[in-house]
Structure 1
Amino acid sequence: MSQPDIKKHAFYEQTIESKPIYDGRIIKVQVDTVRLPNGETSTRELVRHPGAVAVIALLDGKLLVVEQFRKALERAQVEIPAGKLEPGEDPREAALRELEEETGYRAKTIRHLQTFSTSPGFAEEVIHLYYADDLEAGEVNLDEEEFLTCEAITLEQADAYIREGRIYDAKTLLAVAYWRLGQLAGNE
């Protein structure tokens, strides 16, 4: 199925100029000057990101989650295992890698559920969400600058963590919703 020509969309914004602002280890920031549909110009501050993966992993009917400190929020939070894509890395392989690195479990079965944007108003980041089960023990292999704990929680615990604000990020909220829908349909 071919994609429509985006340049023909009524709201298309043509880039006139793109100015790099910051080139970091994880993100790049640029300011684009664009021509609006009405002919006027404006600027757009954009964050370039390589994308990420996240995994809904169930172990004996419980969701594997990790707790870690998130500097941008100045707080610790509970999240599903996730991580950034390396250049050219296949999202499925990245999901398998991140799951084992953060939780110490390998998935015999993994399937793609959804790819979604995180903050389309200013960032191009997308997250590829996977579902994994039939897990076997592997080996935790955290990055040098990564500090976290892993636990397996019930749906009731997940709901409590949401109420308490311990689960706060969109990918984990979406994961809990997918998990709940799966249970309602008689699946895990």
Structure 2
Amino acid sequence: MSRHPDGRRHESLSDPEWPVIDSEVEYETEWFTGGYDLVEQPDGGQKKYYWAELATAVVVVAVTDGQVLFVEQYRPTIRETQLELPAGIVEGGESFTTAAARELEEETGFEPTSTSLIQDFWCSTGLLRHRRGFVFAEGLELGERQLDSNEFLTPKAIPVDDALDVARESPTNDATVEGILLARDEGLL
């Protein structure tokens, strides 16, 4: 179901276990696509299952000198400023680790010498078609910060011991909390 030439949308979904009678796109922008699948349920009934498809994204847990790099930015969707982990879209042909290194340098000005995928998974599967990867980055060297035209953010270094508390402070988001918890569970923090 790729509608974007850069490959950011999900190239394919698994073959359905329940027959899909019809699939309709009702709304499409450069940021997301929305629609529904008319599905035959196991009892023979039919139902429309609505979905919003977002580009595959990466979240970066970057550590340097005993500190985790966060970025502070205003989120117009919730009308609040929050501290969050660097993140962005995985461009066509990129792996999660390549996208993480690019996004980290663009947003914070630091280039990692080492990246590793912690985990990737589908998010909010009751409504979204959105895949997210979490990458650990270390060995940071000064690179060149290159913010996108819609990015107004400030890098902030938080001591590793405080990272989870900071990630959980309101306002927060799922990707930041998940990233810190996954990295901590892997023994990386």
TM bucket, shorter chain: 0.7 to 0.9
Deviation at 1:13, TM superposition (A): 2.4
| Structure 1 unaligned spans of 5+ | none
Count of paired positions: 176
SS at match of 1:96: helix
Q: Given the alignment of the two structures, is residue 178 of structure 1 paired with residue 182 of structure 2, yes or no?
A: yes
Asked if residue 102 in structure 1 is aligned to residue 107 in structure 2, the reply is yes
Q: Deviations over 1:57-80 (max 9, x none)?
A: 001011000111222222221111
- Tell me the residue number matched to 2:134: 129
1:52 corresponds in structure 2 to: 57
SS in 1 for 2:112: strand
| Structure 2 unpaired stretches of 5+ | 1-13
Tell me if the contact between 1:19 and 1:32 (Cα under 8 Å) persists in the aligned partners. Answer: yes
Question: Equivalent residue for 2:96?
Answer: 91
Residue equivalent to 1:42: 47
Q: How does 1:1-188 map to 2 (within 5 A)?
A: 7=16, 12-166=17-171, 168-182=172-186, 185=187, 187-188=188-189
Shift of 1:22: 1.1
Give the C-alpha shift of residue 178 in structure 1: 3.0
Whole-Å separation in 2 of the counterparts to 1:28 and 1:162 = 29
Equivalent position amino acid for 1:175 in 2 = G
Conserved 8 A contact 2:58-2:88: yes
Q: Which residue identity does 2:67 align to in structure 1?
A: K
State the distance in 1 between where 2:161 and 2:128 align.
33
Structure number with larger C-alpha Rg: 1
Question: Which residue matches 2:11?
Answer: none
Identity of aligned residues (%): 33
Structure 2 residue identity aligned to 1:17: D
CA shift at 1:36, angstroms?
A: 0.6
RMSD of aligned Cα (Å): 1.9
Q: Distance in 1 between matches of 2:15 and 2:36?
A: 21
* Alpha-carbon spacing, 1:175–1:143, altered in 2? closer, same or farther (3 Å): same
Normalization by structure 2: what TM-score?
0.85
